[in-house]
A = this chain, B = another copy of it.
Amino acid sequence: MTDSNLDRQATKKPFHRLLLTGAAGNLGKQMRGALSAWADIVRVTDIAPLGDVADHEEASIVNLADEAAVHALLEGVDAVIHLGGISVEAPFEDLIEANIRGLYNLYSAAQKQGVKRIIYASSNHAVGFHPVTSVVDVDAPLRPDSLYGVTKCFGESLSRFYFDRFGLETVCLRIGSSFEQPKNARMLVTYLSYRDFVELVRCSLFTNRVGHAIVYGVSNNRISWVDNTKAAFLGFRPQDSSAQFEHLFPAGAPDQKFDDPTQLFQGGPFVLAGPMEPKR
């Protein structure tokens, strides 16, 4: 699969071929443009349609739960930006396919194909049951706030194993809320601008050694629940802040709902979202 015309032509960029999963999603779209500067060939994949395919791109629709397809997908790949899988609370039978079996397939294939690094979209929901009155660093105990969060913990454990066992490096990005702009007051804290998101991926890809790293993906917002000090070796210095959006969600008096878990924990609404019933 990899001895394509693209392979023969491309010669100049830092990476020869990068794989972007979840390329049709919100963050995948942000990432797709940036990757052209970093790799001769960008292989993009999703389970959803991928739109127009640029000259330097190889596009394929792949279900990550399909082992053979994933192994083919990883062929000839230097590094992976893995944004694929389910990124919200969902029935466990769906999560198990996308975020557990799919992720195993990805790591198993990457290891067999000699891929050296995966940038893994973990989530702040891996630690969402920490209270909003605390600040978590990258070593904080796991406190998933949803079945989705549990699968992100799984991804962090699985990738740790592949690093300890095979030397396959991973940067786990515990991404907060990366949208055009914050959608509510909580996202003023968890906001990650698109620009900072791309920079975070850039740092994760280009730092010469990352081992198995965990880093919070948040902009330089005024209020912070996270502390990236121990991940300073990645060189991620966010440029943006949610301060410009604070007027959209003016702080009132505290809401006095002292029993509302969505206000008490960093995960916000996720802490009540699951487990969901499967659709039958």
A residues at B contact (CB < 8 Å): 14-15, 78-79, 92, 96, 100-101, 104, 108, 116-117, 129, 131-135, 139, 141-147, 149-150, 153-154, 156-158, 160-161, 164-165, 167, 169, 185, 205-211, 213, 222-225, 227, 229-235, 237, 250-256, 258, 263-264, 271, 274-275
Contact = CB atoms under 8 A, between A and B. Distances in A.
A99 B117 CA distance: 27
A135 B230 contact: yes
A98 to B, nearest CB: 13
B160 A206 contact: no
B251 A206 contact: yes
Contacts of A275: 108
A251 to B, nearest CB: 4
5 contacts: A116-B256, A206-B253, A207-B251, A208-B263, A209-B263
Contact of A157 (B108, B153, B252): B153
A165 B263 CA distance: 14
A161 B145 contact: yes
Given A142-B160, A161-B149, A210-B133, A225 B235 contact: no
A139 B96 CA distance: 27
Contacts of A144: 157-158, 160-161
A255 B207 CA distance: 10
Nearest to A226: B232
Contacts of A225: 232-233
Contact of A164 (B132, B143, B213, B255): B143
Contacts of A92: 101, 104, 108
Given A145-B161, A161-B150, A209-B264, A233 B224 contact: yes
A161 B133 contact: no
Nearest to A79: B253
Contact of A223 (B79, B101, B222, B232): B232
Contacts of A224: 232-233, 235
A245 to B, nearest CB: 14
Given A116-B258, A208-B255, 16 more contacts: A14-B251, A92-B104, A92-B108, A133-B209, A135-B229, A135-B233, A139-B141, A145-B165, A147-B161, A150-B157, A154-B154, A154-B157, A207-B251, A208-B263, A224-B232, A227-B229
